[in-house]
Every structure is written in structure tokens, then in C-alpha cells.
């Protein structure tokens, strides 16, 4: 039986688009209070207005770059008192840069991926989870990738960061053993969001080619699974999920229809 999360407070990083925005919409629809964090102010405000209008949701927006350690600490510490008890954390902020060979890749691309996907996730987790332990309740969802399980050419550093997310999820669950706080790692396959657009530096044609001839997952598909996980009874922990489009069997095997 699903557990109600009405009036629970959910913090979502990378909330301005893609999986993060889809999670915001799904959680708003079932009565959660939302802290939406992202680097871009305007999309956050647009999303917040939508959720308030459609669901009468309580929404707090926070402009935040998870790569900035002190900014993360200050943002969590300075939340209004009514928003400090975070029940669910969705570590969704993440990105990929380029498909260069490891020995040829721009170092700035490495920095962006490592700082966001690993260090940013850790900064937010470190700021939020102690409060969950102290309150005796909480749920952490880390959004990884199939790339954390299978390495592909040109993606070794990105894949390494997502392998780290999986290890960090497992390690956090071990560290939380004996507390009621639960942890889920979710590794989607191909999801059509702004991910490829960011990877290819705004090259829309190249980004769309990633999904050509097949039906990828959507942000809503991933959000549905996340909502399922966090609404299980308190004694159930959905620890690890790999979520794939039907047309994809691995990072190397995707069935595409001729167009």
C-alpha cells in the first residue's frame, strides 16, 4: 500500500528542467511541498507559478549551483524555519560534456562533470541528511545513469561520475543502517531531456539524433518510478533501479526504426 506524502517537504536539485521538473510536477500533484533548486532563476519561477496555479502547491525556489560548497551549506542553513525539515531529497542535478577521447578531452569538461555529478551531490547530501537522522525520518533519491554500469567510448569520465553516484548511494545506505532514513539509486537509460543538448553545447540537431528512430524515456517516466519508491511503506527500501526504454537493452544496444 502506498504511503501518503501529502504536506511532506521535497527538495529537488536540477529542478528547472528534465527529470527534476517532471519530479516537481508529480510531487505537486500528490500534495507535497516543494523546494526547487537550480542555477537558472527564470525557469524555476515559471515552473513554480505553474505548480501553484495547477495544484495550489506550496513552492519555495532557490537559485543554487550545487558545485559551490559554501553556497549549498548556506542555502540549506538559511531556509525559512517552515521549510527546514526536508523529508525527501532528490539529488538530480547532473550533466555530461562532450564525447571526446579521455586523452583529448578539455579539462574544463571534466571539472564540470566531477564537480556537479559527484561533489555537488555530496555537498547537498551532507547538508540535508543530518537533519533527517535527527528527526528520525527521510528519504534520499540519487539520480544516476546506466552509464554508471556500462562504460562507452568518449564517455569515460561521465560514466565514472555516475558509477560514483551508485557507490555513494550504496555507501550512504550502509552508513544509515539502524536509522529510518531510506536511499534509492535510480539509473535510467536514454531519457529525452536537455541532457544531450548540454552535452553537445547547444547543437540541437546532434542532440536530437541521439533519440532518432526510437522512443526514449521521458522525465515523467523517471519521476513516476521515483514517486513509487518514496511512497512505499516505511519498512520497504527500493534500493537500486535500472530503468530502460523498451527499445534499449544496453548502452551499446538500441533498436532504431528506419525513418
**Residues 127-137, mean pLDDT to the nearest whole number:** 98
Q: The whole model's pTM is what?
A: 0.94
**pLDDT above 60 (res 100):** yes
For 189-233, the pLDDT digits (tens) are 999 876 656 566 666 667 677 788 989 999 999 999 999 999 999
188 burial (CB, 10 Å; 0-12 / 13-18 / 19+) is buried
C-alpha cell at 146: 546506466
pLDDT score, position 199: 64
CA distance 192 to 196: 8
pLDDT averaged over every residue in the chain: 94
In CATH terms, the fold of domain 9-243 is: Rossmann fold (3.40.50)
**Among 155, 137, 145, 139, CA closest to 200:** 155
Domain coordinates in residue numbering, the chain: 9-243
**Among 94, 92, 238, 78, CA closest to 160:** 94
pLDDT score, position 212: 87
Q: Is 123 a residue of the active site?
A: no
**pLDDT above 70 (res 34):** yes
**pLDDT above 90 (res 3):** no
> Could you say which of 103, 139, 152, 158 is catalytic?
158
What percentage of the chain reaches a pLDDT higher than 90?
A: 87
For 152-195, the pLDDT digits (tens) are 999 999 999 999 999 999 999 999 999 999 999 999 999 987 66
Amino acid at each position: 500500500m502506498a504511503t501518503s506524502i501529502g504536506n511532506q517537504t521535497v527538495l529537488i536539485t536540477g529542478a528547472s528542467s528534465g527529470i527534476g521538473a517532471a519530479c516537481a510536477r508529480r510531487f505537486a500533484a500528490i500534495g507535497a511541498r516543494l523546494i526547487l533548486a537550480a542555477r537558472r532563476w527564470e525557469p524555476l519561477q515559471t515552473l513554480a507559478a505553474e505548480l501553484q496555479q495547477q495544484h495550489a502547491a506550496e513552492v519555495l525556489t532557490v537559485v543554487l549551483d550545487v558545485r559551490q560548497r559554501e553556497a549549498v551549506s548556506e542555502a540549506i542553513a538559511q531556509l525559512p524555519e517552515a521549510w527546514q525539515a526536508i523529508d525527501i531529497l532528490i539529488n538530480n542535478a547532473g550533466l555530461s560534456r562532450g564525447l571526446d577521447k579521455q586523452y583529448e578531452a578539455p579539462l574544463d569538461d571534466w571539472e564540470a562533470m566531477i564537480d556537479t555529478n559527484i561533489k555537488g551531490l555530496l555537498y547537498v547530501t551532507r547538508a540535508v541528511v543530518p537533519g533527517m537522522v535527527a528527526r528520525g525520518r527521510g528519504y534520499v533519491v540519487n539520480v544516476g545513469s546506466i552509464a554508471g554500469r556500462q562504460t562507452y567510448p568518449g564517455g569515460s569520465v561521465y560514466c565514472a561520475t555516475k558509477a560514483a553516484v551508485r557507490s555513494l548511494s550504496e555507501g550512504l545506505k550502509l552508513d544509515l543502517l539502524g536509522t529510518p532514513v531510506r536511499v534509492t539509486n535510480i539509473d535510467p537509460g536514454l531519457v529525452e531531456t536537455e541532457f544531450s543538448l548540454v552535452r553537445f553545447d547547444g547543437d540541437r540537431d546532434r542532440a536530437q539524433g541521439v533519440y532518432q528512430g526510437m522512443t526514449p524515456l521521458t522525465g515523467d517516466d523517471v519521476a513516476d518510478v521515483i514517486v513509487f519508491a518514496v511512497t512505499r511503506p516505511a519498512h520497504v527500501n527500493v534500493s537500486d533501479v535500472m530503468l530502460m526504454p523498451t527499445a534499449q537493452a544496453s548502452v551499446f544496444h538500441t533498436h532504431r526504426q528506419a525513418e
